[in-house]
């Protein structure tokens, strides 16, 4: 059985949050169960892009500060690192408040730059992760709970994709193509190659809608912690009210038989589950609808059956960020106009995730619109076969 702890907290005020984190960790042994004196402990927040804390794109700096303080008090040496999607590491650190959090706690900020080649034992035989990440004595994963256009939800497992350095992320998207299953498998194998000692989820203010870059903040007032990120994500998905069959990482974890992938194998501690109000996150617009078509048919009809990206001419400033980030090079900017080659597009939604102006829109194929009208479902959420059952057993 895997243990996952939940604590409620009212906002990000430092001393309140500190007490909540201590309360959260107490049932799983406290910080001293995870940090030994003299260890270099790398905190891995979500530092997707240069957005202010209230936008809920990045892990809140107060949580980073509290955990860094606790690591130091336990005798550890706190490092804070990531490899942002866009914007440059220092700029993201400054804008997100994590730079100041590091200064105040005496932690060292480290950008993931250099990668080290590692041998995988699963489907992916060779993986390259940041040297500083792989070399740390302990990892404390600090994800933000958000919806995710490609994977439906990003939390503990997905946050570790940040250990892949910079533009190498695009290469992995390209390798996985449009297969959510294969990408989920990659993420799970990255987690297994260097397992975090502890995962603490920032779900105080989470993100719903068009996450992970352009969604809306949603107040949950929750922290979630556990050793196993798969189990932590199962619980986080329940807290967000997202049907399990829409969670690609969770489904793949079950098919791999990973510990913690089933809710029934998880022991909940901390705040009693029955006292947590049920929530149902709005899901991203680009989520594919699952009609159970055979894969060959779905492939043939891809452009008609799926959503696809298109720039909003009114808000797009032609900065080229999406073009440079697009794994298969499906975006071109010519004669002051942006176009997307839909046949080449793998629907990874990196363009929407990284657009600083929220100018990449979701369009739906003709067949998709028709099917949705007939099925009377507007989103994958509504056409999902399983209903969210909340956190109570």
Under the rule (CB under 6 A), what is the footprint of ligand SF4?
309, 311, 316-322, 326-328, 330-331, 338, 340, 345-351, 355, 357, 359-360
Residue 334 C-beta: closest distance to ligand SF4, Å: 12
For ligand SF4, which is the closer residue by CB, 177 or 390? Answer: 177
Closest CA to 330 of 318, 344, 316: 344
Residue 316 C-beta: closest distance to ligand SF4, Å: 3
Q: What are phi and psi of 293, to 5 degrees?
A: -75, 150
Residue 350 C-beta: closest distance to ligand SF4, Å: 4
Residue 219 C-beta: closest distance to ligand SF4, Å: 28
For ligand SF4, which is the closer residue by CB, 314 or 376? Answer: 314
For ligand SF4, which is the closer residue by CB, 47 or 321? Answer: 321
Pairing of strands 40-45, 108-111: unpaired
Closest CA to 60 of 100, 98, 109: 98
For ligand SF4, which is the closer residue by CB, 293 or 337? Answer: 337
Mark out the alpha helices in the chain (DSSP H runs). 14-25, 61-73, 89-96, 98-105, 131-135, 156-159, 168-176, 180-193, 229-239, 248-255, 295-300, 302-305, 321-325, 350-354, 366-375, 380-383
Residue 178 C-beta: closest distance to ligand SF4, Å: 8
Residue 179 C-beta: closest distance to ligand SF4, Å: 13
For ligand SF4, which is the closer residue by CB, 256 or 301? Answer: 301
Kindly compute the dihedral angle of the four CA atoms of residues 174, 182, 3, 386, in this order, to the nearest 10 degrees.
120
Give the three-class secondary structure for 365.
coil
Q: Is the distance from CB of 186 to CB of 157 less than 8 angstroms? A: no
For ligand SF4, which is the closer residue by CB, 153 or 360? Answer: 360
């Amino acid at each position: 059985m895997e243990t996952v702890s939940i604590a409620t907290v009212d906002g990000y005020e430092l001393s309140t949050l500190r007490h909540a984190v201590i309360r959260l960790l107490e049932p799983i042994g406290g910080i001293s169960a995870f940090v030994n004196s003299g260890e270099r402990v790398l905190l891995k927040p979500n530092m997707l892009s240069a957005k202010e804390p209230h936008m809920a794109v990045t892990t809140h700096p107060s949580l980073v500060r509290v955990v860094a303080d606790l690591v130091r008090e336990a005798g550890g040496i706190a490092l804070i690192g990531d490899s942002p999607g866009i914007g440059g590491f220092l700029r993201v650190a400054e804008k997100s408040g994590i730079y100041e959090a590091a200064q105040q706690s005496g932690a060292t900020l480290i950008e993931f730059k250099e990668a080290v080649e590692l041998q995988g034992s699963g489907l992916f035989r060779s993986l390259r992760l940041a040297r500083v990440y792989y070399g740390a004595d302990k990892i404390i994963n600090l994800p933000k709970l958000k919806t995710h256009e490609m994977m439906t939800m990003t939390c503990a497992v997905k946050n570790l994709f940040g250990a892949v350095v910079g533009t190498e992320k695009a290469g992995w998207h390209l390798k996985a193509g449009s297969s959510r299953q294969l990408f989920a498998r990659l993420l799970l194998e990255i987690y297994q190659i260097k397992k975090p000692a502890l995962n603490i989820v920032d779900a105080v203010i989470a993100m719903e809608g068009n996450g992970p870059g352009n969604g809306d903040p949603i107040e949950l007032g929750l922290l979630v912690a556990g050793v196993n990120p798969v189990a932590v994500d199962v619980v986080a998905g329940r807290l967000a009210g997202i049907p399990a069959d829409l969670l690609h990482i969770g489904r793949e974890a079950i098919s791999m038989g990973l510990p913690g992938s089933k809710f029934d194998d998880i022991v909940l501690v901390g705040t009693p589950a029955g006292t947590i109000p049920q929530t149902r996150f709005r899901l991203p617009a680009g989520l594919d609808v699952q009609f159970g078509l055979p894969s060959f048919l779905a492939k043939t009809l891809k452009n008609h059956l799926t959503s696809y990206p298109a720039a909003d001419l009114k808000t797009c400033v032609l900065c080229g960020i999406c073009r440079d980030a697009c794994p298969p090079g499906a975006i071109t900017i010519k004669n002051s106009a942006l176009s997307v080659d839909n046949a080449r597009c793998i629907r990874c939604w990196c363009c929407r995730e990284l657009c600083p102006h929220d100018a990449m829109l979701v369009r739906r194929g003709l067949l998709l619109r028709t099917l949705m009208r007939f099925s009377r479902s507007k989103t994958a959420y509504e056409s999902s076969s399983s209903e969210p059952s909340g956190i109570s057993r």
